[in-house]
Amino acid sequence: MKIYVCIKQVPDTETKIKLKADNGGIDPTGVKWVMNPYDEFAVEEALKLKEGGKATSVTVITLGPKARVVEALRTALAMGADDAVVVDAPEDLDPSATAKALAGAIKAEGGDFKFVLTGKLAIDDNAASVSQMLAEYLQAPHATVVSKLEAGDTNATIERETEGGTREVLQLTLPAVIAANKGLNMPRYASLPGIMKAKKKPVKELTLEAVGASAADIRVKFKNYQLPPEKPAVKMISGDSAAQAQTLAKLLREEAKVI
């Protein structure tokens, strides 16, 4: 059975964010694009499942302006995925439209799967929505923030971390959609032979129309972007340790009024 991994290309964490002149989004000039860090856990888990005989092949899917986002697919292929699908789409699709398009792409590929894996969230918009929406469109159970996955033939047991260090153990009837958290595994680096091989692996291109999605599926748009207000300069507290501690406690109580 197949595993699909849905990945997203995002600006690298270290990238300095500048806004477009009309404040309608970020200025892409000079942005370094990488695979969303959480998606690396999803790709790694899929590869491990295949290596453990729990799946026959791993297909990675992404969505966005194809010339750019295909690079994220090449990274996943270099890690060891078998093949890839890119859905050519504009930048500004929201989670609803994205999930619908990804579900459409999976159905276009045959629809049979054991797992669909994603990252728990993408670090650009931090929505953490596509995985659950995708599960809804695929009529499969889902689990998010997953830090442990044990796959059987007909079901999977997962562990997820929630508030206050609480752990939940869920059993899902397969097929299922899983959103990976840090801690699930240690993503491998692409080897040089892996990178060479990835160049020859098939990447199928699909249009948004072919996967049954359109701009009409968008439910949420972002506008009027703003940079955060400049913070006033830090107030440094001098003196010996005892004096510093005393002054700080006093400032927090009397000036900042937070204690």
21 binds other proteins (CB under 8 A): no
123 binds other proteins (CB under 8 A): yes
211 binds other proteins (CB under 8 A): no
> Pattern of binders to other proteins over 65-94, x per CB under 8 A?
-----------------------------x
Q: CB 139 → other proteins: shortest distance, Å?
A: 9
By CB under 8 A, name the one of 71, 136, 150, 205 that touches other proteins.
Answer: 136
Output the CA torsion 216→70→78→213 (10° steps).
Answer: 20
End-to-end CA distance of the chain: 57
Taking CA atoms, 64 is separated from 91, 93, 240, 251, in Å, by 6, 8, 56, 49
186 binds other proteins (CB under 8 A): no
Using only C-alpha atoms, what is the Rg of the chain?
22
Residue with tokens 């079901």: 155
Residue 36 to residue 34: CA distance in whole angstroms? 6
By CB under 8 A, name the one of 85, 116, 130, 198 that touches other proteins.
Answer: 130
171 binds other proteins (CB under 8 A): yes
22 binds other proteins (CB under 8 A): no
Angle at CA of residue 246, ends 242 and 249, nearest 5°: 140
Q: CB 22 → other proteins: shortest distance, Å?
A: 13
244 binds other proteins (CB under 8 A): yes
200 binds other proteins (CB under 8 A): no
- Applying CB under 8 A, the site for other proteins has a residue count of 83
Q: CB 11 → other proteins: shortest distance, Å?
A: 7
With residue 155 as reference, give the H or E element that holds it.
Answer: strand 155-161
Residue 203 to residue 213: CA distance in whole angstroms? 20
